[in-house]
Structures are given as C-alpha cells and as structure tokens.
Amino acid sequence: MQRASGILLHISSLPGAYGIGDFGEGAYAFIDFLAAAGQSYWQILPLGLTGEGDSPYQSFSAFAGNPYFIDLKVLVDKGFLKKKEIRKANFPSDKEFIDYETLYHVKMALLKKAYKRSRDTLIQAVMAFAEKERYWLEDFALFMALKEWHGGQMWRHWQDAYKWRDREAINTFRRDHQEALEFWYFTQYLFFTQWFKLKAAAQEKGIKIIGDLPIYVAEDSADVWAHPENYLLSDMGTPTVVSGCPPDAFSATGQLWGNPIYNWTHMKNNHYDWWVKRFRKSFEAFDMVRIDHFRGFEAYWQIPFGEETAIYGEWVKGPGIAFFRAIESALGGTRLPIIAEDLGLLTDEVIAMRRQLGYPGMKILQFAFDTENESTYLPHFYTNEDIVYTGTHDNHTIMGWYKQAPKKERAYAKAYLKLERGSGYHWGFIEGLMRSSAGLVVIPMQDVLGQDDQARMNFPSTVGDNWRYRISKNAFNRKIARKLCDVTRLYSRLINKS
C-alpha cells in the first residue's frame, strides 16, 4: 500500500446554513481543504437515512441516501424553491450541534414543495432513475410512504395487509399514493445526482472517498419488511435473536444493538444476491469501503430477542471466507477495496480470515498505552498493510482521551510520542502515526483541530445525544492546512500533487 493519509469527517458534520452538513458549499470547501492539506482520502460514515437514535448505523434502508444531505441551494437555482421560503423555514440556529427533530419537520417540508414544483421538469429523469434502481428503490419508496401513512410506526405495527405485503393491498396503495412514492424517488434522484457530482469533484483533486458499510440493517427498515426471509424472524415479524457485543473491559453488560440477525443459510442458498447488490452499490458510491464489525462474518454474538442487556448471548459461526469469495466472484473476481474493521475481541480465526482475504485491518492509537501489557496498537508494530487512526467516531477525541486517561497512560503517551505542550498534544499523536510504517493514516477532523470530548461523535451504548457534532466553517483555514501538509510531506505521505 502506498503511504498516504486522510481525514475522517462525516457529511452531517460539515458546516452549512441549513441545520446539518450537506452536499453544498461546505462539502466542496472541505475538498479544497483536503487538497491544500496534502490529503489523499476522505472517510465518511454511512450515508443512509438515520432512524432510531439518529444513528447512521440504524437506517431505514441499506441502499437509500439521506435526504438531509441534499443541497437546497441547487433547488433554489433551478427555481424549485424560493429563497424567502428557506429564510422563513426556521432551520435550527445552532451551528455546533444538529437538532434532528426540527430538521425533520423543516427540511422534509421544503423537499416536498420542491418535488411538486419540479414534477413537470424532472419527472422523466426521476422515473428513469427509479427504473434503473428499481431493485431497491421501489420497496424503499413503498416502505417510507406506508410508514408515513401509518403515522411513523415501525412496520410490524402496521395493518396486517401492509405488514405482510398483501399483493392486492399493496397494488391499491401504490395506485392511490403515487405522488407519495414519487416524492421518495425524487429525493433519491437528487441525493445520488449530487453525491456523484461531489465525488467527481473530489476525484479531480486527487481525493478518494472511503465509505462505511454497516454489517447489520435496522429492524425497522425496508430491507427487513420487503425480504423477511433474509432474517431470523418469528411468525409475528419480531426478531428471534438480535445483534450486539458481549461484555468486555468497556461495558460490563456488553452492547445490545438490537438489529435482526441474518438467515445466513437462506442467503447462501440464494447466492448472497442481496449482499452482491449491496456491495455493488457501495463500490459505485465509494473508492474504498470500511466493513463495520468485520469479525461478525467469522462469528457473531447473538442475543435472544427481549433481553435488556447483551449478557445472555452466544457466539454463532458466520458465513466466513466463502462469503467474501462469493462476493468477489460476483463482482469481477478480484480482491475488493475493503478495509476490515477488526477492532475488539479477535480470535485466531478472525485474524486468519482477514489475512487470507488480504484486506487491511485497523489500529487505534488511543488503545496503545496500556501500562500493564505491551499493546500491538503501538506504532512500532504497524505494517504497511495497516490503516491507523488516532480514534474513530466511537472513541474519545485525542484531547478528550488525554484529559480522562489514567496518569500512567498519559505519562506513557508523552514519553513514547515525545509530546510537547507548545505545539499541542494532538499534533504529537498525529505525527506519531504519520511517521509510522502504516500504509494509510486517517485522522478525525476533531483531532486535527485539537477539540475535546464536546466534539465527540458517539458514545456507544447510549442514545439521545450522539451524531450531532458539526464543525465551524472557519476550521478549513490555511494555517491548519499548511501545517497538516507539512507533516504529511515530512513523513512521505504526500501523494496528492494537485
């Protein structure tokens, strides 16, 4: 792997005037910042519609994009919205944190107005897009229209005819609510049109996009509703078992994620068709894909439905290496540009599977400074095949970690990384990764800025105050870009020459 570096910053965290980061000016300014800073990669989180807890890992669809990311300025320029309508829309005034509830009411109302005004102009392009993406979009649009018609209830609480997809009832609903379906076709048309334009702009500046593919889908999703046979569900439509992680040093009761578990036997018999489509869609959208919870493909922790914690689960064998070989074969027979998120409890079998597949794994610098045992997360253990991070969206920021870490661990980090207060401790952590032998270094933007845990993205196993972080538009300044570029050049990671 060629030595390089990049920045982790989700779309939602970008600056902008409309309550959340989007595909507008803030995204293009960030691409310019990455290029000026000598970076070659931009890593993001999943782009799907956020569901329970506003988490991008609990989406209403494994394929659809989040309408919140649509740039409204484009709709104004095309005459589908008026500037005064946006000014009067009462978008959240807080520029540092996202207010998802207000955003839902405000932005979706504007998008519905834009849909009605654009119909005569865009209907042919939208319907052509819908036909091309029919394999997922038809079910998604039906799901979202039915969900709204049922007052936002999750699908297993719908009327039985719609819950179980009675053909006559579905056809009647489709005929009577055609505009509701078209609205969702319209949002997805806009989303992907704007996304691919943004991706092309990044490519022109020598920036590759690293996307994120969650291993599981949400229970309340078009995927589960449309294809219940792909999941381990009861006759009532509830999961029989759900996903999570066992208790560990970070959580005495483990992590109860609650996603339904796949019916791997059925999926295998169907040649992993759903997964092939999902991976193909991901590789159209991104240059590389981080596979969340990679170890779950070798063995996963399943918990009986209804348990309040993850304690009473069990390990079950996953589809293993044969699954990835089947995907590779279906997509051309070559090794896929995958990053394996192989953090947490790893067995010899997981390590062997990743190595045999040839996918690079991840290392987190925050985990390196155990004073009782020598950690393989220390930079002198890194190899060219490793993707290394100061932290991820699930961790403290570096300055947040430093403030709360035990005194011995802070002392170890200071000695190992030769931290100097004058330049900011966060730069010592960044340089520690940059000068290592790792192939790719990825730094969360919060760590580039030296922000504390007020800028943290997610606290695992908690709900209610996550995924809200936004960056200031002043963060993309020349001084920081120049400093990051100098560090990148110093340690031979400057491959972006544009």
**139 contact partners, CB below 8 Å, separation of at least 6:** 222, 225, 226
The reply to whether 308 belongs to the active site is no
The reply to whether 292 belongs to the active site is yes
Q: Of 25, 99, 166, 394, which is the active-site residue?
A: 394
CA separation for the pair 201, 182 (Å, rounded): 29
Q: Of 133, 219, 292, 447, which is the active-site residue?
A: 292
10 Å Cβ neighbour count for 260? 26
Contact yes or no for 4/495 (Cβ under 8 A): yes
CA separation for the pair 199, 205 (Å, rounded): 10
CA separation for the pair 55, 43 (Å, rounded): 17
The reply to whether 71 belongs to the active site is no
> 7: which strand partners?
42, 443
Contact yes or no for 26/473 (Cβ under 8 A): yes
CA separation for the pair 475, 69 (Å, rounded): 20
Closest by CA to 28, choosing from 205, 284, 187, 288, is 205
Q: Of 212, 341, 342, 431, which is the active-site residue?
A: 341
Contact yes or no for 195/281 (Cβ under 8 A): no
Write the burial class of residue 47 (CB in 10 Å: 0-12 exposed, 13-18 middle, 19+ buried): buried
CA separation for the pair 203, 198 (Å, rounded): 9
Closest by CA to 288, choosing from 335, 354, 228, 347, is 335
Query: What amino acid positions are annotated as catalytic residues?
Result: 292, 341, 394
